[in-house]
Chains A and B, each alone.
Chain A
């Protein structure tokens, strides 16, 4: 296995993701960038584990599996936020009550 190739890939993916996260303001774009950064970290974890044993140690594998599910959860919630922001223009959005500038819902 080419350790250095995979390490370079992981670091490169992380850098690309970081650039995407910092350079763009589109939410979905940032979300994709974040997903790529997470993949980079996972790749690094498994590459390190695979360098000592084949198959890789089960603990990092379980961590990555957990991480994949966490990532999809975060992505899903974020995407629903985007959907609601883009699709919904209900009256209470258009004209907030004047004293409610802090957006409180307690009234």
Chain B
């Protein structure tokens, strides 16, 4: 066990401080070579750290680490279980692809916004790792603020009024979300005197203050996660950001808020909610699935289609609360993982499209040459995965969710899950339709620029990974189930 603790300490340090040091070094040292390669090297190294950590966790079970050797409640704890492990893997894989893509993108004469990306993105990456490791309410608040500010900064890397307006709208929502979350933390602390997740269930008996805290924390996090009724900032912000930034915003940043909702509901606040409230959360998620998909069907710009698809796909995550079972747990985690990879692939491929043709309108997608074919293949495979068709990770996730819905006798969620898949198939087919040879011939058939090899292969590799996910569900399931809370509501 002592050895396991040491592994956790080293791996956690690497996960949080590795990307952070990348940001600091790139900011201070003016060599372009560093900007292009350092992040990529570190993301490869972190995969190794995560691999070691995973096998350690498999033998030792969920783990906790008291920072500074100061035990909770005075000190801050980090904690790791299957859910956070999956989120860390998602972050690591997306980071690897984005760093590879950006290595090409940043090559040569980088402009101001590209230089900004090279510094701000590693900070965001570090904060996301910190957030997925966090097990302390106030620590979560601070990491969330880093994530939010970095995300806003990434949006305004794009020049122009549209991005500025989108960023301001984002900031207002995020600010309101932070304050609500902070109020919840204050209420919890006043009622329990504890901030650590592991100690909260015992210290926080049901009370009006605790219920209010649950309500405001959930509302605040929903704003950060762009769950359906408070999603208004997402499409503009994610569409406005530069493509690699859109990829991390859509694949990772909004996941952070949803992840925290699940973590808190199934952990510290487990005793505070009833099945009726869980059904309500599920209904909110279902509404998001339908609304986001319908909006995605109506958008004219490829990045906006993908952004609205995020609103829809996030709606699956709250379904875990009413379904509350180990199958639903696996399905939700798998869905988050799969969506993260697929969405990053889509935004990076959209970035290639804009880079090569300078045209992001939906009907402009076409296969001009071999490069274009690879790019469109990435979009198609990621689309298959989002729709949950058989060989993909999305299929496995939906399978588990459906299993949970029938096992708990809640067939209505099954309808939502299937309908969501069909709608996703519809908007992806609409996106791909012109490329399959049915679109109007484009006036300007020559490509503007050619994309680097890494730029082309990064989204394709991510998309292929979602297929790999589809074939190793049974192998990954025990990892996801590490330390899974099995709430008594199921």
Contacts and interface: CB of A to CB of B under 8 A. Distances in A.
Contact, chains A and B (beta carbon distance below 8 A)? yes
Interface of A: 14, 17, 21, 27, 30-31, 34, 37-38, 41-42, 44-45, 48, 59-60, 63, 66-67, 70, 73-74, 77-78, 81-82, 84-85, 90, 92-93, 96, 99-107
A106 B164 contact: no
Contacts of A78: 168, 171, 175
Nearest to A70: B145
A45 B190 CA distance: 7
Contacts of A107: 354-355, 358
B301 A102 contact: yes
Contacts of B152: 77, 81
Contact of B354 (A45, A93, A104): A104
B149 interface: yes
A51 B361 CA distance: 61
B242 A105 contact: yes
25 contacts: A14-B183, A34-B175, A37-B179, A41-B179, A45-B186, A59-B73, A59-B195, A66-B138, A66-B142, A77-B152, A81-B152, A81-B168, A81-B171, A84-B164, A85-B164, A92-B160, A93-B159, A101-B301, A104-B303, A104-B354, A105-B157, A106-B243, A106-B351, A106-B354, A107-B354
Contact of B163 (A48, A59, A67, A103): A103
A19 to B, nearest CB: 13
B153 interface: yes
A102 B304 contact: yes
A44 to B, nearest CB: 5
Contact of A104 (B74, B168, B360): B360
A100 B74 CA distance: 51
A99 B149 CA distance: 29
Interface in B5-31: none
Contacts of A104: 158, 239-240, 242-243, 303, 354, 360
B370 to A, nearest CB: 20
A63 B73 CA distance: 13
A34 B358 CA distance: 40
Contact of B190 (A48, A70, A77, A92): A48
Interface string B116-141: 00000000000000000000001001
A96 B162 contact: yes
A82 B179 CA distance: 21
B160 A74 contact: no
Nearest to B179: A37
Contacts of B163: 103, 105
A106 B355 contact: yes
Contacts of A96: 160-162
Q: Which of B166, B175, B301 has the most CB of A within 10 A?
A: B175
Contacts of B168: 27, 78, 81-82, 85
A96 B273 CA distance: 49
A74 B149 contact: yes
A107 B356 CA distance: 8
Contacts of B104: none
Chain B contact residues: helix, strand, loop or mixed: helix
B159 A92 contact: yes
B448 to A, nearest CB: 8
A65 B275 CA distance: 38
Contacts of B55: none
A45 B189 contact: yes
Contacts of B149: 73-74, 77
Nearest to B184: A41
A30 B179 CA distance: 13
Contacts of B195: 59
B85 to A, nearest CB: 28
Nearest to B180: A37
Interface string B73-109: 1100000000000000000000000000000000000
A102 B153 contact: no
A95 to B, nearest CB: 10
A41 B361 CA distance: 46
Interface in B305-320: none
Nearest to A96: B160
B155 to A, nearest CB: 9
B86 to A, nearest CB: 28
B221 interface: no
B152 to A, nearest CB: 7
B167 interface: yes
A33 to B, nearest CB: 9
Q: Which 7 A-B pairs have the closest CB atoms?
A: A103-B162, A105-B158, A106-B354, A103-B240, A102-B301, A102-B239, A48-B190
A81 B239 CA distance: 18
Interface string B349-380: 00100110011110010000000000000000
